[in-house]
Amino acid sequence: MDRHRIPAFSILLAATLVAALPASKAGAQRSPRLVYNPVTGKTEPERRRQTQPLRRAIPRSIQDASREHTEEAKYIGNVDGEVEGENVDHAGYFEPCACGNDYCRGDSVGCSSRVGCSSAVGCDDIGCGDSVCGSLGGRNVCRPRAGFYAGFEATFVKPRFENNTAFTVMESDGASFESFSDTEFDYDLEFTPRVFLGWQHGDGVGMRVTWWQFDHEAATASANPAANGFGAITHPTFGTVDISSAIPTDTFSAATDLNAYTIDLEATKQTSFSSWDLGLGCGIRHAYTEQSYRAQLRNTNDVLRGQINYRNSLRGLGPTISLDAYRPFGCQSGIFCKARGSVLFGDGKSNLAALEDADLTTSFNTTRTTGRDDLLSIGEVQVGYRWKARQRQGTSFRPFFSVAMEGQIWNGAGNATSEEGTLGFFGFNTGMGVDW
């Protein structure tokens, strides 16, 4: 080797090493930028863009919870609450939460109706996808956007009464005993519809209107006086009207119908407490109830001997308050209970038209009409199960289904033959509806 080339090569190598020293020193002194990681709850060095997916750095349970969601979360918050315009895969800091997680998910799909946001990162910085960010129960949450909801419930209930007598049968031997038995009107389990429509703002405030109606007849009740001639059939009291009979060949029959409906207009508010979603409603209720009693007495030749047509009705308007509570079990279903109380003030009316001795030359007619100020109080309770579909990205509809046991008490509604008494309904309902 030429000895004159050795010094030149050595000089060139030394210069290259000297030039590299400042850059290495600067790189060693540079401290990584710290950002807040809401998944771990710690402040960590900022992650740089990687050509490999970040999913490897995330626990397997979180990967599994978001496998079907491949959209991108678009925000990373640092310790000062600033927002960086980084685009990272869902395996990054804002992985979609599993149900019950304390962090916002990017699209809010499948985490019940509300998902808590980390208090260390502003809601507005995270973003809630198809939902909006707001305060609920003292914490930041992803809440549904303002929208409408509507539903239909097929309610099957049977009326219950303190007393709803069709007629009374007396049996006797004419000497040593008398036996009395009341025959009550018997309703079947009847279909009654309920329809509701509402609107709710993102902060939980909204409006709702609900309509429900029962309109059915009971089975006709009929009987003949005892064949021995010592028995009798009598009807409930209607003043001095009397079409009772003790003739064994006479037939006494009675029928009734019931029409009752309610219309509610309410302001509503949704909130949460512990693991429950709570709803409060207050507004006005209009209710109407009408019952009738129709009885006829006919002889063996089916000739009319007497009849009674009686009808009483009550219409009221007043305040109503409702409360509902929902406890989710899993991401899409849970149990719920509803209660409502109403106090209505209105007018009651009754009409009586009776005919006696219709088979004789001279019959006797009786009519009577009354009006009154009245009070009607109504209580309602439902307990049941509800399922709600996940909201798919790109769609605005979420169907829901429910099944529940239901009971109602109408205190002061009376019965078929009287303005006094309590009316009740008991049964179950199945419902379906949609949010959009």
Segments making up each domain of the chain, as ranges = 34-143, 147-435
Residue 390's pLDDT band, with cuts at 50, 70 and 90, is confident
pLDDT at 288 over 90: yes
Reduced DSSP (H G I as helix, E B as strand, rest coil) percent helix, strand, coil of the chain, to 5 = 10, 55, 35
Average pLDDT, the chain: 78
Mean pLDDT for 213-237 is 94
Whether residue 137 has pLDDT greater than 80: no
What are the residues whose beta carbons fall under 8 Å from the beta carbon of 425, sequence distance 6 or more? 157, 158, 159, 160, 214, 406, 407, 408, 410
Q: Which two structure tokens, joined as six digits, stand for 337? A: 């209970």
Specify the CATH class of 147-435 in words.
mainly beta
pLDDT of residue 219: 93
What per-residue confidence (pLDDT) applies to 16?
58
Q: Averaged over 334-339, what is the pLDDT? A: 96
DSSP notation for 138-152? TEEEEEEPSEEEEEE
Query: Which range scores top for mean pLDDT: 10-24, 99-113, 394-408?
Result: 394-408
Handedness of CA 273, 280, 192, 162 (dihedral sign): positive
Between 131 and 148, the more confident residue is 148
Q: Indicate whether this model's pTM tops 0.85.
A: no
Radius of gyration of the chain (CA): 38
pLDDT of residue 107: 37
- Model confidence at 366: pLDDT above 50: yes
Q: In terms of Cα–Cα distance, which of 86, 91, 95, 87 is closest to 115?
A: 95
What mean pLDDT comes out for the span 196-221? 94
Confidence band of 21 (pLDDT split at 50, 70, 90) = low
Q: What share of the chain in percent tops pLDDT 70?
A: 66
> Residue 134's pLDDT band (boundaries 50, 70, 90)?
low
pLDDT of 286 above 80: yes
Nearest-CA neighbor of 326 among 368, 387, 369?
387
Asked if the model's pLDDT at residue 316 lies above 70, the reply is yes
Longest dimension (CA), the chain: 157
Res 30: pLDDT:
53
Residue 227 has pLDDT above 70, yes or no: yes
Residues of the chain above pLDDT 90, percent: 56
DSSP-based three-state secondary structure for 372: strand
- pLDDT in the model for residue 220: 95
Evaluate if residue 401 carries a pLDDT over 80.
Answer: yes
Average pLDDT over residues 194-220: 94
Model confidence at 19, in pLDDT bands (50, 70, 90)? low
Residue-level pLDDT at 77: 37
What is the pLDDT at residue 406? Answer: 97
Indicate whether 395 pLDDT > 80. no
C-alpha torsion sign, points 231, 232, 233, 238: negative
More confident residue, 367 or 59: 367
Q: Residue 128 pLDDT more than 70?
A: no
Q: Evaluate whether 178 touches 171 at the Cβ level (below 8 Å).
A: yes
SS3 18: helix
Average pLDDT over residues 128-134: 46
Alpha-carbon dihedral angle through residues 416, 422, 427, 429, given to the nearest 10 degrees: 100
Q: Which of 62-66, 72-76, 232-236 is the least confident region?
A: 72-76
- Rounded average pLDDT over 153-157: 97
Q: Provide mean pLDDT across the span 242-258.
A: 96
User: For the residues 398-415, what does the mean pLDDT come to?
Assistant: 95
Interval 128-149 mean pLDDT: 56
More confident: 39 or 279: 279
